[in-house]
């Protein structure tokens, strides 16, 4: 009789432990899922009505025309862009750049940027294979000491509030950054890989303004809260 009671008590304990583990696992998964679904406080993609869209188009056209005019003069000049302006242009991108609809997969949408004193944060809504989250990364951008290159370093990456492991991020980026047939348009150089994003990789500081095909360099990049300032130096033909 005693053995039967002992066996019965063990079963109760095993059931209680099993139930506790199950409940704890569900709670843990639930909390992890909510954290993964978390929306960063800085993430505010612009929503444009028809009037806002017209204003964004006008603002962008004015910016391009003004910059083109300064390029022609051939003297160094400053460009200051504020966070709201950039987010409005991102929201209007399908209209400003119709080709973007083909280049950006439909499972990435509602992009937004945030500017702080030390980095540029970029967030986008990821929706694929049943997974939904705000994927957001932080980039540190600066001009090299010799002025010959722009240095970029991926300083952080999150899915909601959960840090994305570097190995996982490498797989994602490797699939998104393919070497095109035209090497001159490749984001990463022949001697660079996705690994360099985490330690810092360089982009040659030699760009071409499309209007007038004017070459230019970026002399400095300065981050401020909600703003970014660039010093542009047009190059002689």
Q: What are phi and psi of 6, to 5 degrees?
A: -65, -45
195, pLDDT greater than 90: no
Which one, of 156, 148, 165, lies nearest residue 42 by Cα? 156
- Other CB atoms within a 10 A radius of the CB of residue 72 amount to 13
Same domain, 86 and 193: yes
- Mark out the alpha helices in the chain (DSSP H runs): 2-37, 50-73, 83-91, 93-96, 100-103, 166-176, 196-199
Same domain, 29 and 91: no
Same domain, 137 and 20: no
Angle CA(188)–CA(232)–CA(42) in degrees, nearest 5?
Answer: 65
Q: When comparing pLDDT for 134 and 182, which is higher?
A: 134
Same domain, 10 and 126: no
Q: When comparing pLDDT for 234 and 211, which is higher?
A: 234
Q: When comparing pLDDT for 173 and 231, which is higher?
A: 231
Q: When comparing pLDDT for 36 and 75, which is higher?
A: 75
44, pLDDT greater than 80: yes
pLDDT tens sequence across 166-193: 666 666 666 555 444 444 444 455 455 6
Range(s) of the domain holding residue 161: 40-234
What pTM, to 2 d.p., does this model score?
0.72
Same domain, 183 and 101: yes
Q: How far apart are CA 121 and CA 139, in angstroms?
A: 6
Torsion of CA 160, 164, 169, 172, to 10 degrees: -40
- Mean pLDDT score, 34-51: 78
Same domain, 95 and 137: yes
Same domain, 160 and 189: yes
| Cβ burial, residue 114 (10 Å; 0-12/13-18/19+) | buried
How many structural domains compose the chain? 2
Same domain, 51 and 6: no
Conformational region of residue 110, where left means phi above 0, alpha means psi within -120 to 50, and beta covers everything else? left
Same domain, 124 and 16: no
Same domain, 2 and 105: no
Same domain, 127 and 78: yes
Q: When comparing pLDDT for 129 and 65, which is higher?
A: 65
pLDDT tens sequence across 103-131: 777 777 888 999 988 888 888 887 777 67
Same domain, 130 and 69: yes
Q: When comparing pLDDT for 181 and 215, which is higher?
A: 215
The per-residue pLDDT of the chain, averaged, comes to 76
């Amino acid at each position: 009789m005693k053995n039967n009671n002992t066996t019965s008590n063990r079963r109760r304990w095993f059931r209680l432990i099993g139930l506790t583990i199950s409940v704890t696992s569900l709670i843990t998964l639930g909390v992890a899922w909510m954290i993964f679904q978390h929306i960063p406080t800085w993430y505010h993609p612009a929503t444009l009505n028809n009037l806002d869209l017209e204003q964004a188009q006008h603002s962008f056209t004015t910016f391009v025309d003004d910059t083109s005019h300064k390029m022609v003069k051939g003297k160094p000049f400053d460009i200051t862009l504020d966070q709201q302006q950039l987010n409005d242009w991102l929201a209007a991108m399908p209209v400003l750049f119709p080709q973007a609809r083909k280049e950006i997969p439909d499972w990435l949408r509602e992009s937004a940027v945030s500017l702080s004193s030390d980095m540029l944060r970029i967030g986008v809504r990821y929706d694929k294979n049943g997974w939904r989250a705000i994927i957001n990364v932080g980039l540190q951008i600066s001009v090299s000491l010799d002025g010959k290159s722009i240095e970029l370093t991926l300083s952080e990456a999150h899915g909601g509030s959960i840090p994305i492991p570097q190995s996982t991020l490498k797989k994602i980026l490797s699939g998104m950054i393919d070497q095109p047939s035209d090497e001159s348009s490749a984001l990463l150089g022949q001697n660079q890989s996705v690994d360099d994003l985490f330690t810092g990789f360089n982009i040659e500081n030699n760009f071409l303004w499309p209007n007038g095909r004017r070459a230019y360099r970026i002399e400095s990049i300065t981050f401020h809260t909600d703003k970014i300032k660039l010093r542009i130096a047009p190059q002689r033909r």
